[in-house]
Structure 1
Amino acid sequence: MKVGLFFGTFNPIHVGHLIIANYMAEFSDLDEVWFVVTPLSPFKKKSSLLDNHHRLAITNIAIEDYPKLKASDIEFKLSQPNYTVNSLVHLEEKYPMHEFCLIMGEDNLKGFHKWKNYETILQNYELYVYPRISEGSTENKLLKHPKIHQVNAPIVQVSSTFIRKSIKEKKDIRAMLTPSVWKYIDEMNFYKH
């Protein structure tokens, strides 16, 4: 089975994440897409991050009607700060029958050369890159790499940061979340303060 790994804090998971993941599962050669909920990115501050178990719960709620999408807490058990290369090794040991690939936005590919052991990742894993509108878009030489596949997934300009800020400002952003995710966030009073 070929599994695409979509790493992120998913704080919270929104329709943009679902559209990309579902597109990858339906329109590429990936059999499943796993949302790997990360405890803390080495590049992000922790202040506005919901607890791991809440973000995992929200992700599971969001994907309950999508059999090709799964949520993974694999990184919760790894020592922090964790790096993608360690997660890949861990997943391969745990699921030797699966072939794992990485899913990332074109904007993340720009900084990919800064990732720990990025050459090793590129040597051993395929990357599925979806388009993102970003400032100062420049041609990325990595896009021509044989292990990198550009997937023409829809561009959705929604961010978790925008959603958190909007909830705090008491804006109605329900359309950007699945109804069940909105209900959970609202009932738990997340992001309101």
Structure 2
Amino acid sequence: MKKVGLFFGTFNPLHIGHLILANHLVQETDLEEVWFVITPQSPFKKKSSLLDNHHRYQMVFEAVEEFPHLKPSKIEFDLPQPNYTINTLVHLEEKYPKGYSFQLIMGEDNLKSFRKWKNYEEILARYELLVYPRLSEGVVPEDLQDHPAIHRIEAPIIEISSTLVRRMHKEGKDVRPMLPAAVWKFMDEMNFYR
């Protein structure tokens, strides 16, 4: 049974924090792979700073190409919108009925609001959550603090955000140290986020 961690995000763009965390999880847990599940542009909520799906997929693809245990995933691109994590999980179970065990990777900031997720009880009943530390306000609800499906992972706290990368780049600042070289090259060649 191949254990796969699902790392959801817009990855707009993917930065070194994402890469460091995913690699850390493959090296320090029993995960065999981490899939970067790229959240599609919602047709109901157009955001001008969000690149098209295929551009973000391409950046993730190029960033993880050298890492055999890290994979890009566009599984959500063809799902009806708006999409919810539970729908993606059901779809993955149908697409990979044998040989795969999926776990969700999320930051502690997302765990604090996890009870607002659609069918969060079903997610907890069927999947394990790997929660990495984040600097954020608020507290994790008491019923989720010691839940048997929730595993807190010691991981580096890297407070880089895609929002910060986009803002600094737009201001003409050098963001290359915050990005995998392949992402920077693609972003620069395509003149994104200026």
1:60 aligns with 2:61: yes
User: What is the distance in 2 between the residues matched to 1:174 and 1:114?
Assistant: 36
Q: Which residue of 2 aligns with 1:147?
A: 149
User: What is the distance in 1 between the residues matched to 2:60 and 2:30?
Assistant: 23
CA displacement at 1:179 relative to structure 2: 1.1
User: What is the distance in 2 between the residues matched to 1:56 and 1:16?
Assistant: 17
Of 118, 123, 134, the match for 2:120 = 118
Q: Which residue of 2 aligns with 1:80?
A: 81
Q: Which residue of 1 aligns with 2:18?
A: 17
Answer yes or no: is the 8 Å Cα contact 1:143–1:150 preserved in 2.
no
CA displacement at 1:41 relative to structure 2: 6.5
User: What is the distance in 1 between the residues matched to 2:55 and 2:139?
Assistant: 37
Give the letter for the 2:145 counterpart: L
Q: Which residue of 2 aligns with 1:177?
A: 179
Residues 159 and 45 (structure 1 numbering): CA distance in 2 closer, same or farther, change over 3 Å? farther
1:26 aligns with 2:19: no
User: What is the distance in 2 between the residues matched to 1:40 and 1:29?
Assistant: 32
User: What is the distance in 1 between the residues matched to 2:42 and 2:116?
Assistant: 14
CA RMSD of aligned residues (A): 1.6
User: What is the distance in 1 between the residues matched to 2:17 and 2:58?
Assistant: 18
User: What is the distance in 2 between the residues matched to 1:112 and 1:74?
Assistant: 22
Long gaps (5+) in structure 1: none
1:92 aligns with 2:93: yes
Answer yes or no: is the 8 Å Cα contact 2:42–2:81 preserved in 1.
no
User: What is the distance in 2 between the residues matched to 1:132 and 1:172?
Assistant: 25
Q: Secondary structure at the match of 1:77?
A: coil
1:164 aligns with 2:166: yes
User: What is the distance in 2 between the residues matched to 1:80 and 1:140?
Assistant: 29
Answer yes or no: is the 8 Å Cα contact 2:112–2:140 preserved in 1.
no
Q: Deviations over 1:130-186 (max 9, x none)?
A: 000113x42542131000000001000100000001110000010000111101100
CA displacement at 1:46 relative to structure 2: 2.1
Answer yes or no: is the 8 Å Cα contact 2:14–2:59 preserved in 1.
yes
Q: Which residue of 2 aligns with 1:104?
A: 106
Residues 165 and 46 (structure 1 numbering): CA distance in 2 closer, same or farther, change over 3 Å? same
Give the letter for the 2:53 counterpart: N
Q: Secondary structure at the match of 2:77?
A: helix
Residues 119 and 45 (structure 1 numbering): CA distance in 2 closer, same or farther, change over 3 Å? farther
Residues 41 and 113 (structure 1 numbering): CA distance in 2 closer, same or farther, change over 3 Å? farther
Answer yes or no: is the 8 Å Cα contact 1:106–1:131 preserved in 2.
yes
Residues 121 and 41 (structure 1 numbering): CA distance in 2 closer, same or farther, change over 3 Å? farther
Give the letter for the 1:27 counterpart: E
